[in-house]
Amino acid sequence: MPRIDLNRLFIGGLYALSGAAAIVWLAQVESFPLTLTWPVFAAAFVYFHWQSVEVNDRLLASPSVMVILTAAVVFGPGQAMLGTAVMAALGAINPADIRRRRIFQLFANFGQLVLSAVMGSWLVELTLPASIAPATMTTVALASAIGAVGYGVVNICLVIAGIRLALRRQNVWPWSGMARLIPSNLIMGFLGGLLGATMVLVGPVTLPLILVVFFVGHLSMDSYARLREAQLDTLAGFTKALEAKDPYTAGHTERVAYFSQLIGVEMGFKG
């Protein structure tokens, strides 16, 4: 078996075992949220995670973090970590990975999503006020924002570590823009806390409105992804138009960019 396959097997297995161990441990110390809202939040997380859009080269994003943090506030201490961890585990089972037999992605995503959800929900449980009331709405939102940052940091660290260790690649340029997701995670976490607190105060009648907000978050990311794609297509078309004027140098721009990247990797640049 090639070395790269052994690396993938080790990292994928390590991530998957870590995620599974976290769920097993949480099942001993927390209770599962046996409410009608859990299936709704789980379905929303799975849907939006499967509908993730590309916001940077091979960097996907979705409002799934807002779903996780909203659910964590609704479930509350003693149920949030276990409830959101199982939600994340379901989202990791992507039909596209199964069709393409991307076993490494399945295992790695399972551990990555579960551990990220556990970290985010743990921070929410840690900072959530004793009772949710109109006077504590700001505190709830801040607690959720802190949880979103924790979710994002763990997610970024696991992705970059997995790429470097599994693929033996120090060049993580395609994922170099991941830190840009932290501000958006912060905003979505803050909003998720407000949505969760509203549902606790008003009741399940607010669930349709919450789902609409989730969908609006998805549409905003989808619009950004389409704008980015249009910008790249415009630049590519402009380059082809220039090269058409001089067939001798056609493709020269792409070659220069490619070899410049190789030189940067050799010199230790991270992108």
Residue 259 lies in a domain: no
pLDDT at site 82 = 96
Q: What is the mean pLDDT of each run of 10 residues along the chain (271 residues)?
A: 64 91 95 92 93 74 89 93 95 82 85 94 91 86 88 86 70 58 80 90 91 91 84 78 69 71 69 52
Residue 250 lies in a domain: no
Residue 119 lies in a domain: yes
Residue 34 lies in a domain: yes
List C-alpha distances in Å: 142 to 8, 71, 101, 203. Answer: 37, 15, 40, 21
pLDDT at site 1 = 42
Q: Which residues pair with 53 in a beta bridge?
A: 61
pLDDT at site 171 = 54
DSSP string, the chain: --HHHHHHHHHHHHHHHHHHHHHHHHHHHS----STHHHHHHHHHHHHHHT-EEEETTEEE-THHHHHHHHHHHH-TTTHHHHHHHHHHHHT--HHHHHTT-HHHHHHHHHHHHHHHHHHHHHHHHHS-SS--GGGHHHHHHHHHHHHHHHHHHHHHHHHHHHHHHH-----GGGTTGGGHHHHHHHHHHHHHHHHHHHHHH-GGGHHHHHHHHHHHHHHHHHHHHHHHHHHHHHHHHHHHHHHT-GGGTTHHHHHHHHHHHHHHHTT---
pLDDT at site 35 = 87
Residue 123 lies in a domain: yes
Residue 256 lies in a domain: no
Q: What is the dihedral of CA 262, 263, 268, 271, to 10 degrees?
A: -60
Identify the sign of the CA torsion 152, 155, 161, 166: negative
pLDDT at site 174 = 53
Q: What is the pLDDT of residues 211-265, one digit of tens each?
A: 999 999 889 888 888 888 888 788 777 777 777 776 666 666 667 777 777 777 6
List the domain range (segments joined by +) for residue 171: 3-218
Residue 252 lies in a domain: no
Residue 247 lies in a domain: no
pLDDT at site 18 = 94
Domain count, the chain: 1
Are the CB atoms for 46 and 89 separated by under 8 Å?
no
